[in-house]
Amino acid sequence: MTTRLMKTALRNITRNMRRSLLSGIAIAVAAMSIVLLFSLIGGMRADMETNLKDFYSGSVQLQHADYEEFERYNPVHLTVPYQEITEVLDTIDGITTYVPRTTFPSSLYIDETTNGAIGVGVDFAQEARYHDVEAIVHEGRLPSSGKNEIIMGGNLAQDLHLKIGDQVTILSTTAARGTNAITMEIVGIAAFPVGAMNTSTFWAPLDRVQYFLRMDAQVQRILIKTEEGVQEQQLAATIAQELSSRTGETYDVRSWKQINLMYSFIELAQLIYYFVGVFFFLLGSTVIINTTMMVIFERMREIGTLAALGMHGKELVRLFFLEGAFIATIGSFVGVLAGVGITSYLSRVGIDFTDALSGMDFEISSVLYPQLNVWITFFVFFYSVAIASLATLLPSKRAAKIEPVEALRYI
Amino acid sequence: MRTKRTQKLLSLLVMICLIPSSLAAMSAEEIIRKTDEMQTFDTAITEGELQITDRFGTKISTFIAWSRGSEESLIEFTSTAERGQKILRTVDSIYLYYPDAQELIRMQGAALRQGMLGSDVSYEDMTGDNDRLSQYEVVLDGEQVIGDRMCYKLSLTATTRSVPYPKETIWIDKEHFIVLKGEYSTKSGRLIKEIDVLETGRFDDLVLATTTRISDTMKADSQTLMIIRELQVNVPIDSRIFSLDELSW
């Protein structure tokens, strides 16, 4: 009986190909859009995670206990003793590597005008063990330790009409809460993945920054990377506890998810997009509902005949449901396939958001690479089949309620 | 008749008695002129310190300053954190010298409003000359006791836009002509800076402020004490010291 119903359903689909195609395309477009949307969000999440871990906070960030409270006052003096802390970090399991970073707001004095910029003191040798630091070099080279050299974000250099070989005088507040200035040479132009970094940041050797800011051997923060599968929040608590018991000092040690609210927003956005997805499918499904209803009205004579010949209401529902389910399955399959195809292409070439993200302090790269998640793609497929099929139930039930006598009146 | 003559005599006597006091009373302009004169020397070498207090605590920066007239000065910081840093004020500009910078930094525009070494004293406070009468309209509001000193209270309203504070209220010691207290405001009357002399001292024949508290009301929990330890006035100073060429010596 079921096989016969399926055959009938398939035959009915092909009987009006244009109508079935319209329904299928609606489902396909919805499914494709959702696959693309989720891939884009997946890409954004992965990109943000990489950027946050490489450039902003690490998997776990360690800084002075009071730093965050006074951050808006630029508390350069609230530092941590790097050597003492790393001796403790080296004994804790789950840590793969760490880097010291000192970020300081500064003014670049060029042609008698001051231009705001963010300086970052980094240990380039240690950075190479932490992430692919050479990848940021767009032109020139990385600065050498012990030398007054900087690598400057490409857009910042462009805005200030600076190039490799130029000398720049940098002014900043010191850890002694005074002011200081130092002249450094641009030896490299950087292409930081994050647009905001490109327009505002320069990196200099940590030892020169420590000297310039009168920080001795102290650093502003330590970024820690963890082994795969390590619970970052738990590790942060362990580090804080170990440091407290072994040095007697309290530090602000937190995982990257605890620090970066923006990432939580992305996670929240993803949840919201699941709901948006439902509406997408419901929208696509209205075409199916509409088509099915039209089919029912157009095939009233047939329904009446089938009912008169003894076909029950439930079987009629099943027949129309099967028709909807077939269209939904084919539409979803085609849509998901198209989504996968477009995503794989975009994941290779990327989508350039440079203009859209310019001037935004957002830890997302200017060029985004959508990332396909197999499980989410499967989910989208079944999800769209289920919603589109269920949407046909409504008009199908209507068909089941039609009395044969009334239906036969259309003959 | 006799009574009339007596009345005339009495009136004359009263007028005669009043003449010396009206002659002795100084006008607002005279008070300002005298104060500006008292605070300006041909040359001066000053040693002192800035005690800068903010929300994070107090830091001390020591300095030596050379000055000529009211428009030329050089400050060199001697404390460890700022050793070798210099501020040169010439007739028309302020330049900063930092030992590790290969160029001099000329302060201008909004940068002049920054606090010197993070203190409550802005670079702008160092600008202007001691001829306030050419820049302000002065009104004597009366007399008032500040601490245990009788002072003239004066209101100054700027007549030019080239001054850092459009409105000033100052209290000038009647005896030594030192500004003991000052309130500096915007045109609308919003208080920007307060200055209080906490101690005065005698250097040879001069009585000058030795400890002055400066508070920038825009900065919360902040004040700066400027303490003068040594002062030599009218001593010979090589004029090259105030030139840009000599700034990096």
Closest CB to A112 among B61, B82, B108: B108
Residue B202: count other Cβ atoms within 10 Å of its Cβ: 10
Residue B145 in this model has a pLDDT that exceeds 80: yes
Do A317 and A210 have their domain in common?
no
Q: Do B105 and A180 touch (CB under 8 A)?
A: no
Burial of A219 (C-beta count, 10 Å sphere; 0-12/13-18/19+): buried
Dump the DSSP string for A155-219.
HHHHHTT--TT-EEEEEEE-TTSSEEEEEEEEEEEE--SBHHHHHHEEEEEHHHHHHHTT-TTEE
> Are A179 and B118 in contact (CB < 8 Å)?
yes
Cα angle value A185/A190/A192 (rounded, 5°): 145
The answer on A298 and A222 residing in a single domain is no
Give chain B's mean pLDDT. Answer: 85
pLDDT band of B113, cuts 50, 70, 90: confident
Q: Is residue B5 in a domain?
A: no
pLDDT range class, residue A267, cuts 50, 70, 90: confident
Q: How far apart are CA B88 and CA B106, in angstroms?
A: 9
* pLDDT higher than threshold 50 for residue B14: no
B82 lies within 8 A of chain A by CB: yes
Whether residues A62 and A100 fall in one domain: yes
Q: What is the CA A85 to chain-centroid distance, rounded? A: 32
| Of B98, B198, B184, residue with least CA distance to B136 | B184
Total domains in chain A come to 2
Residues of A in contact with B120 (CB under 8 A): none
C-beta separation of A349 from A367 below 8 A: no
* DSSP class per residue in B201-232: EEETTEEEEEEEEEEETTSTT-EEEEEEEEEE
Residues A344 and A197 in one domain: no
CB B181 within 8 A of CB B174: no
Across the interface, of B85, B105, B117, the residue whose CB is closest to A109 is B105
C-alpha to C-alpha distance for A32 and A225, rounded to whole angstroms: 36
Would an 8 Å CB–CB cutoff place B15 in contact with chain A? no
Q: A12-26, A273-287, B176-190 — which one is most confidently predicted on average?
A: B176-190
Q: Is B92 on the interface with A (CB under 8 A)?
A: no
B chain contacts of residue A212, beta-carbon cutoff 8 Å: 100
Q: Answer yes or no: is B6 within a domain.
A: no
pLDDT band at A357 (very low <50, low <70, confident <90, very high): low
Tens of pLDDT, residues B59-105 = 999 999 999 887 889 999 999 889 999 999 988 889 999 999 999 99
Q: What is the count of residue pairs from A and B with beta carbons less than 8 Å apart?
A: 58
Tell me the chain B residues in contact with residue A174 when contact means C-beta distances shorter than 8 Å.
81
Question: Which of A217, A234, A259 marks a domain boundary?
Answer: A259
Q: Is the pLDDT of residue B18 over 50?
A: no
Residue B97 DSSP SS3: strand
> B80 lies in a domain?
yes
Identify the band that residue A361 occupies on the pLDDT scale cut at 50, 70 and 90.
low
pLDDT at A85: 95
Q: Measure the CA–CA gap between B18 and A384, rounded to whole angstroms.
A: 105
CB contact under 8 A, A169 and B103: yes
Flag whether pLDDT at A379 surpasses 60. Answer: yes
Assess whether A275 and A253 both reside in one domain: no
User: A161 and A150 in one domain?
Assistant: yes
Chain-centroid distance of CA A262 in Å reads 10
* A398-409 tens-digit pLDDT: 767 777 777 666
Bigger pLDDT: B134 or B65? B65
Same domain for A357 and A399? yes
Question: Nearest CA to CA, how far is B100 from chain A (Å)?
Answer: 5
Nearest chain A CA: its distance from B244 CA (Å): 15
**According to the model, what pLDDT value does residue A208 have?**
97
pLDDT in the model for residue B8: 55
Cβ separation of B101 and A179 shorter than 8 Å? Answer: no
**Using one digit for the tens of pLDDT, what is the confidence trace for A319-338?**
878 888 888 899 989 999 99
Domains contained in chain B, number: 1
Confidence of residue B178 (pLDDT cuts 50, 70, 90): very high
Read off the pLDDT of each residue in B150-163 and give the average, rounded to a whole number: 91
**Using alpha carbons only, what angle is made at residue B34 by residues B30 and B40, rounded to the nearest 5 degrees?**
145
Please indicate, yes or no, whether residues A141 and A198 belong to a single structural domain of this protein. yes
In CATH, what number is assigned to the domain containing residue B140? 2.50.20.10
**Which chain B residues are within 8 Å of A70, Cβ to Cβ?**
55-56
Residue A304's domain comprises 2-53+262-408
Under a CB-based contact definition with an 8 Å cutoff, are residues B33 and B133 in contact?
A: yes
In this structure, the answer to whether residues A314 and A399 fall within a common structural domain is yes
Interface contact flag, B55 A70, Cβ < 8 Å: yes
The domain boundary, picked from A200, A231, A259, lies at A259
Using one digit for the tens of pLDDT, what is the confidence trace for A32-44?
Answer: 888 888 888 888 8
Q: Is residue A233 helix, strand or coil?
A: helix
Which residue of A70, A183, A212 is in closest CB contact with B102? A183
Q: What is the pLDDT of residue A359?
A: 62
Q: Which residue of B has its CA nearest to A77?
A: B56
Query: For the residues A48-59, what does the mean pLDDT come to?
Result: 89
Cβ separation B56–A77 shorter than 8 A: yes
Q: Do A176 and B59 touch (CB under 8 A)?
A: yes
Q: Point out the domain boundary residue: A237, A259, A281.
A: A259
Q: What is the DSSP string of A56-121?
A: IS-SEEEEETTTTTTGGG--TT--EEHHHHHHHHTTSTTEEEEEEEEEEEEEEEETTEEEEEEEEE
How far is CA A408 from each of CA A299, A301, A396, B44, rounded to the nearest angstrom? Answer: 11, 6, 18, 118
- pLDDT above 50 (res A348): yes
CB contact under 8 A, A182 and B85: no
Q: CA B176 to CA B206: how far, in whole Å?
A: 8
Say whether both A228 and A269 belong to one domain. Answer: no
**Residue A107: closest CA among chain B residues belongs to which residue?**
B111
Q: From CA B88, how far away is CA A182, in angstroms rounded? A: 18
Task: Name the average pLDDT for chain A.
Answer: 87
Q: Which chain A positions have a beta carbon within 8 Å of B117's beta carbon?
A: 178-179
Specify if B86 maps to a domain.
yes
Q: Say if residue B23's pLDDT is above 60.
A: no
**Which member of B81, B101, B105 has the closest CB to residue A176?**
B81
Does B101 contact chain A (CB < 8 Å)? Answer: yes
B68 class by beta-carbon count within 10 Å (0-12 exposed, 13-18 middle, 19+ buried) = middle
Identify which has the larger pLDDT, A80 or B19: A80
Does B191 have pLDDT greater than 90? Answer: yes
Please report the pLDDT score of residue B15 as a whole number: 45
Give the integer Cα–Cα distance in Å for A298 and A289: 14
| Rounded CA separation B2/B6 (Å) | 6
Q: With an 8 Å Cβ cutoff, are A112 and B106 in contact?
A: yes
Instruction: Identify whether residues A173 and A321 lie together within a single domain.
Output: no
**According to the model, what pLDDT value does residue B16 have?**
42
Degrees, nearest 5: CA angle B78-B207-B54: 45
Do A183 and B54 make contact, defined as CB atoms within 8 angstroms? no
Show the domain range for B40.
28-246
Residues A33, A66: one domain? no
User: Given B54, B103, B117, which is nearest A179 (Cβ)?
Assistant: B117
Task: Give the pLDDT band (50/70/90) at residue A257.
Answer: confident
Q: Using the predicted structure, report yes or no on whether residue A161 has a pLDDT greater than 90.
A: yes
Percentage of chain B surpassing pLDDT 90? 53
Q: What would you report as the CA-atom Rg of chain A, rounded to the nearest whole angstrom?
A: 31
Asked if residue A42 lies in contact with residue A399, where contact means CB atoms within 8 angstroms, the answer is no
Q: Encode pLDDT of A63-88 as tens digits.
A: 999 999 998 888 999 999 999 999 99
Who's near A358: CB < 8 A, 6+ residues apart? Answer: A195, A199
B-chain CB neighbours of A114 within 8 Å are 111
Q: What's the confidence (pLDDT) of residue B125?
A: 82
